[in-house]
């Protein structure tokens, strides 16, 4: 018997109830052993390795038996695990990487083929992956010989973030096979949001929770996008929820708006993208009646953007100049870009407002063009276009209740995500701006949009069963 066959048998055994029990006992015994050995550990590093081993065993058991619970574990790690490794590696990165590796290994070894639920979004992602790999290779060439390259670790970090972002979408859509786990993931996220809002509004709560929250976990723009659109869509459209819960969700939405607009009103990434997302939710929910609001919303949007630009004219001017400079630098290799992180070291070749300094573009789209070129940008936009099309089709076919409300919320979240990309690299973090720790926030969009694939699977199974 060859090694591949042995590994395949191991995966099959993990699916059996008796092996589930054995894994649970292994975890319990391992934890007790670790507790007994703690006084004997010579350093913090040894303790960290032991904890990683135990978490790895627990994660393996979760992914094997309850993949939805494993994803919820990643969500908890985002907000409650403070670990930050070299270059900003954090619990979100490690969690997504581990679950992805297990998912791919299980498909290749146990089923001998790659099975992906929704092929249109997957094809766009595969092109995005390919473009990222090609751009990484192209980034090793001296496109601007007078400037040095980004360190290889930084380039690798940019590549990893790009790949893991797409894989977060895939593992949510392919590992979660029923609505129960998607509900669990969504309500857990809202519960975390409730704790955050309570900490922002009640100082006594903040004094307690700041000891448990991971530093910086709530600072990303996309956290505010999803913590607004998800409860809003459920409150508006989920008729299965009791009226009391729907009213409570509306109250929560108002609290989020108060925090993002009043408390943190100077941070435009914190309120403009969420407001755009909420607007899309309301318009799609109103259907034909939305036509009566379009003119009013157009005027409101114009006034909002005018005031936002007027209150920060210098920032707007410097961003436009940065976009021009980075775009000109990228013309050395417009198809594949300059590679991950390299343009940051090329920017001093041209002065910006009289200064020769390193700077980032503060735009997701300019970053993508500079790092992965036209191919990367096109595949990125193609993917989100396919996701938008999937959500638009599901709005009329998804089961009423939670699923229908989720689809509308995801469409709003998609709009907010794309607008957030105009303000900074919130969707695929740039290593020299938002940084790898920004993956804690950016991964939310990839996870929640992957939830559309879960609902697509359910509607397809229902349709096939009815034939």
pLDDT digits (tens, 9 = 90+) for 312-340: 666 677 888 888 999 999 999 999 999 99
Q: What are phi and psi of 237, to 5 degrees?
A: -120, -15
Closest by Cα among 314, 166, 432 to 424: 432
| 250-300: pLDDT as tens digits | 999 999 999 998 888 778 888 899 999 999 998 888 876 666 666 666 666
Q: Enter the pTM of the model.
A: 0.86
Closest by Cα among 228, 209, 208 to 217: 209
pLDDT value for 148: 87
Question: Which residues of the chain are modeled with pLDDT < 50?
Answer: 3, 7, 11, 25, 29, 36-38, 41-42
pLDDT value for 178: 86
pLDDT value for 201: 93
Report the C-alpha gap between 60 and 80 in whole angstroms: 20
pLDDT value for 219: 86
């Amino acid at each position: 018997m060859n090694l591949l066959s042995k590994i395949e048998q191991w995966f099959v055994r993990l699916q059996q109830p008796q092996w589930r029990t054995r894994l649970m006992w292994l975890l319990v015994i391992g934890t007790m052993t670790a507790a007994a050995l703690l006084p004997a550990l010579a350093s913090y590093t040894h303790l960290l390795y032991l904890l990683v081993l135990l978490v790895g065993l627990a994660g393996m058991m979760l992914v094997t038996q309850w993949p939805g619970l494993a994803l919820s574990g990643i969500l908890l790690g985002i907000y409650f695990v403070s670990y930050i490794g070299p270059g900003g590696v954090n619990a979100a990165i490690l969690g997504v990487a581990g679950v992805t590796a297990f998912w791919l290994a299980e498909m290749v070894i146990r089923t001998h083929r790659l099975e992906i639920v929704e092929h249109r979004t997957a094809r766009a992602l595969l092109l995005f992956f390919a473009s990222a790999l090609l751009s990484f290779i192209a980034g090793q060439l001296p496109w601007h010989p007078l400037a040095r390259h980004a360190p290889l670790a930084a380039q690798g970090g940019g590549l990893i973030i790009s790949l893991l972002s797409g894989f977060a979408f895939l593992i949510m859509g392919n590992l979660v096979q029923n609505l129960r786990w998607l509900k669990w993931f969504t309500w857990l996220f809202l519960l975390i949001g409730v704790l955050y809002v309570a900490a922002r509004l009640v100082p006594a709560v903040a004094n307690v929770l700041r000891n448990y929250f991971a530093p910086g976990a709530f600072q990303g723009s996309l956290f505010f996008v999803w913590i607004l659109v998800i409860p809003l869509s459920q409150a508006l459209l989920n008729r299965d929820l009791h009226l009391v819960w729907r009213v409570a969700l509306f109250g929560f939405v108002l609290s989020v708006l108060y925090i993002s607009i009043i408390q943190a009103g100077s941070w435009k990434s914190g309120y403009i993208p969420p407001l755009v997302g909420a607007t899309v939710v309301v318009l799609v929910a109103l259907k034909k009646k939305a036509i009566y609001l379009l003119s009013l919303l157009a005027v409101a949007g114009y006034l909002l953007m005018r005031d936002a630009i007027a209150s920060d004219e210098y920032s707007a001017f410097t961003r436009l100049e940065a976009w021009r400079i980075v775009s000109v630098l990228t013309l050395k290799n417009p198809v594949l870009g300059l590679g991950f992180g390299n343009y940051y070291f090329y920017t001093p070749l041209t002065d910006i407002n009289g200064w020769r300094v390193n700077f980032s573009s503060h735009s997701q789209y300019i970053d993508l063009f500079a790092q992965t070129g036209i191919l990367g940008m096109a595949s990125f936009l193609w993917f989100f276009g396919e996701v938008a099309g999937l959500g638009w089709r599901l709005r009329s076919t998804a089961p009423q209740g939670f699923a229908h409300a989720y689809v509308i919320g995801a469409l709003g979240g998609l709009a907010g995500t794309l607008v957030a990309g105009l303000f900074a690299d919130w969707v695929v973090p740039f290593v020299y701006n938002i940084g790898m720790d920004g993956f804690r926030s950016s991964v939310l969009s990839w996870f929640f949009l992957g939830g559309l694939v879960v609902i697509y699977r359910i509607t397809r199974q229902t349709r096939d069963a009815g034939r």
